[in-house]
Chain A
Amino acid sequence: MARRWLVVSAALLLVLAGCSSRSPSGHGRTTLTVFAAASLNTAFDEVAVEYKKAHPGVEITFNYLGSQDLVQQMQGGAAADVFASADQKNMTIAIESKLISGGPKVFATNTLVLIVPRDPKTGQGNSAGITGLDASLDGKKLVICAPAVPCGATTATLASNLGVTLKPVSEEQKVTDVRGKVESGEADAGLVYSTDAKQAGDKVETIQIPGAEKVVNSYPIAVTASSRAPAEAQSFVDFVASEAGQAVLEKYGFGKP
């Protein structure tokens, strides 16, 4: 009985060890681990497909999470080759924690828009009659990001620039949660990035906010200090900034750097 336990524990240890070894595996193939902000999810998937056409020997695995979470994971020793942040703040924290090699490069921008739900049956949008960040929001259910998260900081800056006081019914942790609450019709309006509005497709109607173009969120990308394949990592970073990479990002609603 005792021996069987030993065998099981040994097997378990082997499995765990297997999980953490992220070595560039044999057969001349290299695996890049890219830590990318959650908002880059679908866009970077497609960028990777394009990249692999030019670099068939490189495999890419993504870890999509909030930029803050990604920095915390890297501080905790998680192995990454490339870090793409949704804001300058978290890239600065990563640099100060000596997690980054070389200088980061801004590869995309994002601005805020107001979205309102569309009725799934009739296709009619904006039943609450919202026109922008104005009196039309009075008594309506507005959802925004919490000021502590990047999209919320941008929201706060925009509101103060415009001199308006927002009265949200909920301050969400993630911009995708704001989008979800508008898509489901639970909220009457939500402030999200233009990329989220694009991803929501027919489920929402987008209202541009005059002045939002002045509050730009920049996305920096860099090779990590701990990368075991720095040359390949740099080539991925370069590809993201290249014309081909930029074309994909533009398709998903990102602005030029």
Chain B
Amino acid sequence: MTRTPLPAWVLVAATVGLTVVAVPLLGLAVRIPWADVPTLLTSTAATQALWLSLRTCTLSMLLATVLGLPVAMLLARLEGRRAVLVRTLAVLPMVLPPVVAGLVLLVTLGRRGVVGQHLAAAGIEIGFTTAAVVIAQTFVAMPFFIVSVEGALRTLDPAYEVAAATLGASPTTVLRRVTLPMVGPAVLAGMTMAFARSLGEFGATLAFAGSLQGTTRTMPLEIYLQRETDTDSALALSLVLIVLAAVLMALPAGVRALGSRGGRVA
């Protein structure tokens, strides 16, 4: 399919836009002490932070998927005011300042929180645990999953689902055999978005979970702390996060490319 050419000023503006993103990354690449990176990244604090981040982000991604998928399916079928209402609620954490997310979690699940005080009475205290990190990350990451999957579900041609139902498939079978396979790439994209957002989660974790090496101090918290004493170490850790984020963002497109090369219909 051929497209009309873009006006020249759009190309200029786009170049400016890309420069805004590229220059700071270039700045990091110039400033980073490349020779020391392996040593900096193998310190106990760094490896524990990385390992904790990978574990908690995997859990948050899975939770966001399990909890977010039904929400996305429901949302894709709603129309009008109800859709606006549910969508606003579902994506709200996406636009909340992270520290606000941390505060609402604290006043809800904290020791004196609305729910937390009953949990505390039962001997369950979430604050300062790895579970608190996972909860904070899931809270902020789930909207990204929901938005990604809902978009795909809405643009789906309902003819396939209708055909399956006409042939006698139950709603669950339609969902399992027709709908979900067709939105597979969007589910994958949503999962990587959720993982990436969890990886960057900072404010809510700091406010709700605290910061202790190996328990709650994830990569962003470790970077923030290292910055106080050792800028080089903070830069090396930042590099890891940037590389991880880049891989995550490229992953869904890469998988799709592989899929279509294999001759399957995406």
CB atoms of A170 and B228 under 8 A apart: no
Is B68 positioned at the interface, with any CB of A under 8 Å from its CB? no
CB atoms of B210 and A181 under 8 A apart: yes
A257 CB contacts on chain B under 8 angstroms: none
The range of chain A's interface size is 20 to 34
Q: A169-B128, A170-B212 are in contact. Are A184 and B106 (CB under 8 A)?
A: yes
Task: Please encode chain A, from 135 to 177, with 1 for each CB lying within 8 Å of some chain B CB and 0 for all others.
Answer: 0000001010010110000000000000000001111110001
Is B176 positioned at the interface, with any CB of A under 8 Å from its CB? no
Is A208 positioned at the interface, with any CB of B under 8 Å from its CB? no
CA distance A63 to B207 in the complex (A): 23
Is A186 positioned at the interface, with any CB of B under 8 Å from its CB? yes
CB atoms of A169 and B9 under 8 A apart: no
Interface size for B (C-beta < 8 A) is 24
Count of A-B contacts judged by CB separation below 8 Å: 60
CA distance A5 to B17 in the complex (A): 14
A184 smallest CB distance to B (angstroms): 6
The residue of chain B having its C-beta at the shortest distance from the C-beta of A185 within the complex is: B112
CB atoms of A143 and B210 under 8 A apart: yes
The residue of chain B having its C-beta at the shortest distance from the C-beta of A146 within the complex is: B225
Task: Please encode chain B, from 95 to 124, with 1 for each CB lying within 8 Å of some chain A CB and 0 for all others.
Answer: 000000000001000111000000000000
B133 smallest CB distance to A (angstroms): 12
CB atoms of A186 and B110 under 8 A apart: yes
CB atoms of A171 and B110 under 8 A apart: no
A66 CB contacts on chain B under 8 angstroms: 228
Is B34 positioned at the interface, with any CB of A under 8 Å from its CB? no
Q: A5-B13, A186-B106 are in contact. Are A170 and B112 (CB under 8 A)?
A: no
Is B229 positioned at the interface, with any CB of A under 8 Å from its CB? yes
Select which of A148, A172, A173, A184 is within 8 A of B112 by beta carbon. Answer: A184
Q: A68-B228, A146-B225 are in contact. Are A170 and B110 (CB under 8 A)?
A: no
Is A14 positioned at the interface, with any CB of B under 8 Å from its CB? no
A selection of 5 A-B contacts at a CB cut-off of 8 Å is A68-B228, A141-B128, A170-B216, A173-B221, A184-B110
Interface of A is mostly: loop
Is A19 positioned at the interface, with any CB of B under 8 Å from its CB? no
- B: residues with CB less than 8 A from A are 9, 13, 106, 110-112, 127-128, 206-207, 209-213, 216-217, 221, 224-229
A8 smallest CB distance to B (angstroms): 11
Is A17 positioned at the interface, with any CB of B under 8 Å from its CB? no
Is A7 positioned at the interface, with any CB of B under 8 Å from its CB? no
CB atoms of B127 and A171 under 8 A apart: no
6 closest A-B pairs by beta carbon, nearest first, are A170-B210, A169-B128, A148-B228, A148-B229, A185-B112, A186-B127
The residue of chain A having its C-beta at the shortest distance from the C-beta of B120 within the complex is: A185
Task: Please encode chain A, from 174 to 194, with 1 for each CB lying within 8 Å of some chain B CB and 0 for all others.
Answer: 000100110011110000000
Is A2 positioned at the interface, with any CB of B under 8 Å from its CB? yes
B213 CB contacts on chain A under 8 angstroms: 171
CB atoms of B211 and A185 under 8 A apart: no
CB atoms of A2 and B9 under 8 A apart: yes
